[in-house]
Structure 1
Amino acid sequence: MTDSRETFEARLRQVGAERYHDLHPFHDRLHGGHCTIDEVRAWVINRYYYQHSIPMKDAAFMSRVEDPDLRRAWRSRIEDHDGTDTNEGGIRRWLRLAEAVGLDTDYVASTRGVLPATKFAVDAYVRFVREKPLLEAVAASLTELFAPKIHANRIEGLLRSYDFANDAALSYFRNRLSEAPKDVAFGLKWVLDQADTQEKQDAAVAALTFKTDVLWAQLDALWAAYVDPARIPPGAWRPDEGLALKAAS
């Protein structure tokens, strides 16, 4: 028996209530002002790898979509990250945050210092979207249901706790407060419409669970490398690397 539309949506939302990465202790540390500047820099470097991979994920998704209406609706996600003539885009805004915390933006954009576990997790997400049924690919994006809360908390916490935080540095998060709800309104309706069997509903819930695991794994790796036990793996960023000249002086 298929769950009702309301029950199915509640199941999706429960995944976020139990598993979204706003529950990870690193975010408590970051938003509470307890991170060192090097821990913030490590987070910025590693999160960039995720940010820069999102348009590639969306392009891989669109390459498999035959419905022009779905492609048209999805196209704005790429533009929101890559930018347009009138919108600089999320990737550039993230690099502004990197600049604000004293990092060389060319170094961050090179992704040289990204943790191996971050790469594995993010690459797994891109591969998931490229290979899985379209329903599961869209369902995995529904972590956006839970994003506005974490962005609002992040803006408030960073402004309160860190000297680098200002409107320019945090513009990525402010823009996502309006972009994410638009995306998720479409994505949620599409998933609710398309998941018309119990098997499809279960697959959608599993896909969203997978995506929360991707986000959580990135923070686990960050914590282990830079907080406790602070064991940085070979090749990953070290605090004396990748700094802007002003920060290094």
Structure 2
Amino acid sequence: MAQSPAEFEARLRQIGADLYHDKHPFHQKLHSGDCTMDQVRAWVINRYYYQSRIPMKDAAFMSRISDPKLRRIWRRRIEDHDGTDDDNGGIARWMKLAEAVGLDPDYVSSEVGIMPATRFAGDAYVRFVRDEPLLPAVASSLTEMFAPQIHKDRIAGLMEHYDFATIDSTTYFRKRLDQAPRDVAFGLQWVLEHAVTKLDQDAAANALIFKTQMLWAQLDALWLGYVEGHIPPGSWQPGEGMLS
């Protein structure tokens, strides 16, 4: 039997409470100031790959939508990351962080030093949104329900513990404090309206679980590579890609 909209929303929010990557030890290490600068740089480089795939997955999603109203609403997500004539966008804001930690933005955007697990995870997300039915494709974006708190924690932790952290270098996270709730307001309502059967609700919930696992897998790779010291061949090595 299908859950009521209120019950189903509670189910989705519980997934975040149980599985969201704010609980990962790498984030706890980062936010508490215990990361070395090379660990921070590794995170910035690999997280860039995920950031760069977000507008790609949104473009893939839009290519499947026949409703112009839905396309128009969803297009804002691409503009949020790629920018517009009036705003540089999230990817450009991420590069401010890269420069602040001493990385050459051209090196970061080249994707040369991306870890294999990061690449597989980011590409899997694009494929999921491109290939799955529209309902789970939208539901996979609902990790944004849980993002504002991690952004607040990140801003506070970085500003307290790291010299590179300034209002300018953390502007990506500050901007998402406004953008993420707007995206959730639409995406969550859309999912609740379209997940009308138990099968629909299970598919949407499983999509959200997939997304939390994808985010978690990236941090597992960072931990193994740059905390435990098992950096995969071809991945960024400390000292590479630095600003001259």
Bin of the TM-score, shorter chain as denominator length: over 0.9
Residue identity (%): 67
Partner SS for 1:243: coil
Provide, for residues 80-100 of structure 1, a one-character-per-residue CA deviation record: whole Å limited to 9, x for no partner. 000001111000000110000
The aligned amino acid for 1:107 is: Y
**Aligned 1:194-213 pairs, distance under 5 A:** 194-213=194-213
The residue matched to 1:130 in structure 2 has which SS? helix
Match of 1:36 in 2: 36
CA distance in 2, matches of 1:199, 1:232: 41
Q: How does 1:114-193 map to 2 (within 5 A)?
A: 114-193=114-193
CA distance in 2, matches of 1:3, 1:227: 42
Q: How far 1:177 moved relative to its partner? A: 0.2
How much has 1:4 moved relative to structure 2?
Answer: 0.6
Matched residue, 2:233: 234
Query: Quick one: distance in 2 between partners of 1:114 and 1:47?
Result: 9
Provide the C-alpha distance between the structure 2 equivalents of 1:5 and 1:223, rounded to a whole number of angstroms: 38
How big is the shift at 1:240?
1.5
SS of alignment partner, residue 76 of structure 1:
helix
Letter in 2 for 1:38: D
Distance in 1 of aligned mates of 2:192 and 2:129: 18
Find the residue that maps to 1:113 and give its secondary structure.
coil
In 2, the alpha carbon distance for the partners of 1:140 and 1:211 equals 6
- SS across alignment from 2:138: helix
Which stretches in structure 1 are left out of the alignment for 5+ residues? none
Moved over 2 A (4+): none
Q: Which residue of 2 aligns with 1:108?
A: 108
1:201, 1:28 → 2: CA distance?
32
C-alpha distance after superposition, 1:150-186 (max 9, x if no partner) = 0000000000000000011000000000000000110
| Partner Cα separation in structure 2 for residue 127 and residue 223 of structure 1 | 25
Distance between the aligned counterparts of 2:53 and 2:5, measured in 1? Answer: 32
Could you state the TM-score of these two structures normalised by the residue count of structure 2? 0.99
Amino acid at match of 1:161: H
CA distance in 1, matches of 2:213, 2:122: 10
CA RMSD between the two structures = 0.4
What TM-score does the superposition give when structure 1 sets the normalisation length? Answer: 0.98
Matches within 5 A, 1:6-155: 6-155=6-155
Give the unaligned 5+ runs of structure 2: none
Equivalent pairs, count: 244
Q: Give the Cα–Cα distance (whole angstroms) in 2 for the partners of residues 139 and 8 of structure 1.
A: 12
Q: After TM superposition, give the deviation of residue 76 of structure 1 in Å.
A: 0.3
C-alpha displacement at 1:69, in angstroms? 1.1
Aligned residue in 1 for 2:242: 243
